[in-house]
């Protein structure tokens, strides 16, 4: 019978705006922060998963992002919306976490086969230099593996820019803020990411002879 | 026929507005560019098939349960942070300045008993002048050090700016207080410079701990393009002049504030 009060409470929570929840949290009502956590957890998880590439790290990022957001809530100043702000914290923490893990991996592994030591490594060199065949295209598992590798081979900035733009639909200004750069540079980073992904996945999608030379305008 | 570049086609696909009409027109006539765009689309569509696992409907609730025990009573608990050892020195300096200003105010009050309200205002202004001057000096030092964090000439791929970040966080708290004080004092010029400084401090404090030389350069350019170092220097210099010039305490000088508004 205690379902009713719970549902009334959850409706109340769902209707509360981010601004009101922030105001209440800052006034000392710690539970008001729960509204923000429950509302934004899924989208932050999606971003974190795409940036880190695994569930465990993504969950760590989500928790850490909300902890940091809570600790710095008094600095929030309502200039941006909360979702964007927590996104930015999560993206930055993802970059730090991935970088830290890569360093740890680099210490453990032998450098010969590690693509993670060199994020700029061109995956094309690792792929067999043959024209695509229907069988190969059918090997979706292999393609999936290559796509994950291609994403992992992007630099932190390129991956962040690509994920935010392509999957999360973020604006260029928002991406620039996360990358600590200007909008021109952010646009360029998105382009570089798409271009690299194309190059790395080219054997699966196109005959190399079909691909136009990069940047030609004849 | 003049074809569009891969970059332009990607930008078009991403919804970029510039040349949109021209590209759309061209695509309707050019098979080669259409094929190129289709190849770009194919790669992106394949990438879209990479699934993100569903963390479950109750994920938000689980996150809350995991972090709730780790949250302090109040967000930011800024007063606790101020008592961290690294901030005690700064706190002590600010407290000493306030005490000096208070004593100075008391002495002036005795010598001019008929003018209490004006003196009180002067004391407040004195606090603002001295404390903000200190704050701007430290901010300037941090920004200069950040600008001079030089990876050039070395093979360094990442530059660690965690020290500057911690200092930016400390300065951020102070900056907010001083900005509010300046607004209360009606000093719009000072409040505006502090507001700009706050944005830069926010950028530094919330950015990654390690940045690439390119990112560092972007931070530098942002500092430079806003002219924030120059503004901080000018305001700080003016505050120092005011500090030297207010013995005995003069009436608040609106013309100085107006001048600063021009910076």
Calculate how close chain A gets to B249, using CA atoms only, in Å.
35
- What residue in B sits closest to A46 (Cα-Cα)? B52
What sign has the CA pseudo-torsion A175, A38, B209, A117? negative
Which of A88-92, A109-113, B61-65 shows the lowest per-residue confidence on average (mean pLDDT)?
A: A109-113
Instruction: Give which of B35, B43, B202 to mutate to test A binding, by max A Cβ within 10 Å.
Output: B43
Most confident of the ranges A48-52, A82-86, A105-109, B169-173: A48-52
pLDDT of residue A112 exceeding 60 = no
Which pLDDT belongs to residue B103? 64
Which of A1-5, B70-74, B116-120 has the least mean pLDDT? Answer: A1-5
**Do residue A197 and residue B43 have CB atoms under 8 angstroms apart?**
yes
Provide the pLDDT for residue A39. Answer: 94
pLDDT tens across B189-246, in order?
Answer: 888 888 888 878 877 777 777 777 777 777 777 777 777 778 888 887 777 777 666 5
Which range has the worst mean pLDDT, A185-194, B121-130, B160-169? Answer: B121-130
Task: Look at B208 and A49 and tell me if their CB atoms are within 8 Å.
Answer: no
Nearest Cα of chain B lies from the Cα of A214 at a distance, in angstroms, of 6
| Closest Cα in chain B, distance from residue A156 (Å) | 10
Q: Which residue has the higher pLDDT, B215 or A18?
A: A18
The predicted structure's pLDDT at residue A216:
42
Interface probe for B, chosen from A74, A117, A132, A204 (most Cβ of B below 10 Å), is A74
CA B261 vs CA A87, A104, A186, B231: distances in Å:
35, 51, 33, 11
ipTM: 0.73
pLDDT of residue A55: 93
Give the span between the Cα atoms of A13 and B229, in whole angstroms: 44
Summarised one tens digit per residue, pLDDT across range B87-122 is 555 556 566 666 666 666 565 555 555 556 666 666
| For residue B79, pLDDT beyond 50 | no
Give the tens place of pLDDT for each residue, B132-158: 888 888 888 888 777 777 655 555 667
What does the pLDDT look like over B157-168, one tens digit per residue? 677 787 787 788
Q: Which two tokens stand for residue B12?
A: 């078009």
Per-residue pLDDT tens for A70-102? 988 887 765 567 888 898 899 989 988 888 887
What does the pLDDT read at residue A163?
93
B47 to chain A: nearest residue by CA? A147
Q: Are B40 and A194 within 8 A, CB to CB?
A: yes
The pLDDT assigned to A215 comes to 41
What's this model's pTM, rounded to 2 decimal places?
0.55
Residue that is written with structure tokens 């010969």 in the block: A112
SS3 B211: strand
> Residue A48 pLDDT > 90, yes or no?
yes
Three-class DSSP category at B210 = strand
Nearest beta carbon to residue B78 from set A74, A167, A212: A74
To the nearest whole Å, the CA of B43 is away from the closest chain A CA by 6
Partner-chain contact B222 A182, CB within 8 Å: yes
Going from the C-alpha of B258 to that of each of A197, B10, B26, B98, B252, the distances in angstroms are 54, 49, 55, 26, 12
Question: If you average pLDDT over residues A160-171, what whole number do you get?
Answer: 89
Dist CA B225 CA B221 (whole Å)? 6
State whether the Cα torsion A215-A140-A47-A157 is positive or negative.
negative
Report the distance separating Cα B50 and Cα B45, nearest Å.
9
**How far is residue A129's CA from residue A126's CA, in Å, rounded to a whole number?**
9
């Amino acid at each position: 019978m205690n379902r009713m009060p719970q549902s009334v409470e959850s409706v109340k929570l769902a209707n509360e705006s981010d601004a009101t929840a922030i105001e209440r949290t800052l006034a000392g009502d710690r539970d008001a922060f729960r509204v923000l956590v429950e509302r934004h957890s899924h989208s932050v998880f999606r971003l974190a998963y795409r940036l880190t590439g695994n569930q465990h790290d993504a969950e760590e990022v989500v928790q850490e992002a909300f902890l940091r957001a809570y600790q710095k809530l008094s600095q929030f100043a309502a200039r941006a919306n909360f979702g964007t702000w927590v996104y930015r914290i999560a993206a930055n923490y993802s970059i730090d976490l991935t970088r830290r893990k890569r360093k740890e991996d680099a210490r453990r592994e032998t450098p010969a086969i590690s693509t993670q030591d060199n994020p700029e490594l061109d995956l094309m060199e690792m792929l067999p230099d043959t024209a695509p065949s229907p069988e190969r295209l059918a090997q979706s598992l292999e393609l999936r593996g290559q796509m994950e590798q291609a994403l992992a081979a992007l630099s932190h900035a390129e991956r962040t820019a690509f994920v935010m733009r392509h999957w999360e639909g973020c604006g260029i200004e928002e991406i620039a803020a996360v990358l600590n750069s200007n909008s021109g540079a952010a646009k360029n980073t998105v382009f570089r990411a798409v271009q690299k992904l194309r190059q790395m996945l080219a054997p699966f999608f196109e005959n190399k002879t079909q691909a136009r030379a990069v940047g030609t305008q004849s | 026929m003049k074809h569009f570049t891969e970059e332009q086609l990607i930008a078009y696909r991403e919804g970029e507005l510039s040349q949109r009409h021209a590209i759309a027109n061209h695509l309707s006539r050019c098979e080669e560019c259409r094929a190129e765009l289709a190849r770009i689309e194919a790669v992106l569509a394949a990438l879209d098939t990479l699934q993100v696992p569903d963390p479950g409907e109750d994920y938000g609730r689980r996150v809350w349960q995991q972090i709730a025990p780790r949250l302090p009573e109040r967000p930011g608990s800024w007063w606790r942070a101020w008592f961290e050892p690294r901030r005690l020195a700064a706190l002590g300096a600010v407290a000493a300045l306030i005490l000096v200003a208070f004593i100075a105010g008391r002495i002036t009050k005795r010598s001019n008993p008929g003018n209490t309200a004006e003196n009180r205002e002067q004391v407040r202004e004195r606090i603002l002048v001295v404390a903000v001057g200190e704050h701007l000096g430290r901010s300037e030092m941090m920004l200069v050090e950040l600008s001079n964090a030089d990876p050039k000439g070395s093979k360094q791929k990442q530059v660690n700016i965690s020290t500057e970040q911690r200092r930016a966080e400390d300065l951020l708290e102070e900056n907010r207080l001083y900005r509010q004080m300046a607004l209360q004092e009606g000093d719009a010029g000072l409040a505006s410079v502090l507001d700009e400084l706050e944005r830069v401090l926010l950028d530094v404090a919330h950015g990654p701990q390690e940045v690439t030389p390119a990112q560092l350069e972007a931070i530098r350019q942002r500092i430079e393009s806003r002219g924030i170092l120059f503004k901080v220097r000018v305001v700080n210099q003016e505050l120092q002049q005011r500090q030297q010039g207010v013995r005995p305490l003069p009436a608040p000088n609106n013309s100085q504030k107006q001048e600063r508004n021009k910076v």
